[in-house]
Amino acid sequence: MTTGYPRFFIHRSIQAFAADIVAKHVSTKAKQPGDITAMLFPTPTIASRCVDFIRSRAPVDVCSNLQVINLVLDMSNPEARALEPLCPSISAVIMPQDGFPFAKQYWQHSGDGVSSRRAEFCHGLFKDGLLRPDTELRNADASAPAKPCRGPKRYQRQASLDAGGNQQPNVHGNVNGTTGETAMIQETSRFLEERFGRNLDLSFVQPAKSAIKRRIAGALRSADHDLGGSHSLSEKQMSSNTRGIANLREEDIYLFPCGMNAIFHAHRALYSIRTPPGSTPLKSVNFGFPYVDTLKILEKFNPSGALFYGRASESDLDDLETRLEAGERYLALFCEFPGNPLLTCPSLVRIRELADKYEFAVVVDETIGTFANVNVLQFADIVVSSLTKIFSGDCNVMGGGAILNPNSRYYSALKAFVQKEFEDTYWPEDVIFMERNSRDFVARIDRVNANAEAICRVFKGHPLVKTLYYPKYNDSRANYEAVKLPQGGYGGLVSVVFKEKEQAVAFYDAIETAKGPSLGTNFTLTSPYVLLAHYQELDWAEQYGVDRDLIRISVGLEETDELVNVFTRALKVAEAQS
């Protein structure tokens, strides 16, 4: 296998950089070079979390041989000055090969790892001697310790990375900055293009983040947003959003390197503010059959574990209510809307009522429903989403978002936590790609909604189809309608179970679409989802009604008639197996 989904398979560019760090800076003594490996993260704080995770699970011989190497700009090199605003730092967790499976778990579950674009850029600096271990630089000049990414004051926060602080400097240029700061940004952009062949105008990064956040809020729907002009909408314009929350502000929306990272940090924030020192942590609730790593986060990053309801049914809510009435208390309830892959929609109205009565937080993942179709923020304390999917659509960048509901009882505590702990690790190049890709998001959603319904009409009532899963046709449709926007549709994800396994195999082999993991691509993507995502736990999945032979279709932007013909032809091939 040469490549794969980024959180499950570490990109080759990242692997190559990690190998070079080990080769140059790790003494293997009598061991073979392959006995030592590295996992790369954007900041020392994140690397430390990975080390803590490994130490909580790995054997003693692994834990005693962990090391972190923090690579920062060598400011004694004249070329480094122009790179300051980018903050191109890397923290490598060095470990024996036996420790890799534990580090890989942290990488996959948390989404905290470096992106391939960051790795490729920083690898180039490393080869040119511009990135060096911070310990080397301190030893070289003990009287003036090197500060990673210390640029103009406007780009700094109070704590520096190598001083043990938890915050990454706000390094991205502001178009309203002073003349000196603007000159620094222009110098950096020119240097990047001339030295590394990268056309990256840093003056666009902060406006791009702003545009992404306002699209997420539903306050910016135009496809022709000009990043070169004023990027700030008025508070009145911001209050007119599809979320229906007039006091929602851009500062309540946070961007992350991937969607799972948004979920990870939502849990981390709630765990922190709701677990007083010395107290026993409360369990979280995973309500509904989840995407793989959501449940893993709740189980592995909370010693009290999680209560899992796999069907997201009314009877599951009845059971939860009975537990609450009996005195059980919970940290937070996490759910997807709709769920993946059965597209089940939990009753957010009832969940909100229980949360208010029994004081637990509600985190809703709207990735599949999308904020162009549904408004779930009114029922949640935090809404998370994977921007990697249909928000981007182009399969060339990852990203995640989280919204804090300003009307939540936990809002003040969450804001205080975020202001202290949040590290903005979204690499500038990734930001630029995400902003460009998402400009026509709303128009693409409309097309995807229409195509998905057309495909459902092909499946619905077909004699080979045992069950069709789609929010419009599921038993939980009323819960979807309760939050559906007036102009919204039912989304671009469809799942189908055939009456016989052989029919499913024949259909999958015959379908003339792209095939593989992920969803939300601009092209239609078909996958045997359960076999891919739950291969080691197929019996467990079937306990919750998730058939191992289920076929999941992420619907794209192709011509509707063309898609109908593609699926009709594949069904005819499957009919021959009957």
Whole-number pLDDT of residue 32 = 64
Whole-number pLDDT of residue 262 = 98
Whole-number pLDDT of residue 168 = 39
Query: What is the four-CA torsion angle of 301, 305, 310, 314, rounded to 10 degrees?
Result: -120
Nearest-CA neighbor of 99 among 139, 53, 140?
A: 53
Q: What are the Cα distances from residue 76, in Å, to 25, 84, 86, 138, 141?
A: 20, 12, 17, 12, 10
Phi, psi for residue 450 in degrees, rounded to 5: -65, -40
Buried b (16+ CB within 10 A) or exposed e, 4-28: eebbebbbebbeebbeebbeebbee
Whole-number pLDDT of residue 185 = 61
* Encoded tokens for 457: 């009409």
CB 482 within 8 A of CB 352: no
Whole-number pLDDT of residue 180 = 58
Q: Could you tell me which residues come within 8 angstroms of residue 320 by beta carbon, excluding any fewer than 6 positions away?
A: 285, 287, 307, 309, 354
Confidence (pTM): 0.89
Q: What is the 3-state secondary structure (H, E, C) of 73-106?
A: ECCCCHHHHHHHHHCCCEEEEEEEHHHHHHHHHH
Whole-number pLDDT of residue 146 = 45
Buried b (16+ CB within 10 A) or exposed e, 540-558: ebeeebbbbbbbbbbbbbb
Residues 16, 28: Cα–Cα separation, whole Å? 18
Interval 287-306: pLDDT, tens: 999 888 999 999 999 999 99
Cis peptide leading into residue 303 (ω within 30°) = no
Buried b (16+ CB within 10 A) or exposed e, 90-120: bbbbbbbeebbebbbbbbbbbbbbbbbbbbb
Residues 451, 67: Cα–Cα separation, whole Å? 51
Whole-number pLDDT of residue 174 = 39
Nearest-CA neighbor of 255 among 384, 156, 445?
A: 384
Segments of the chain with pLDDT less than 50: 30, 143, 145-177, 224, 229-231
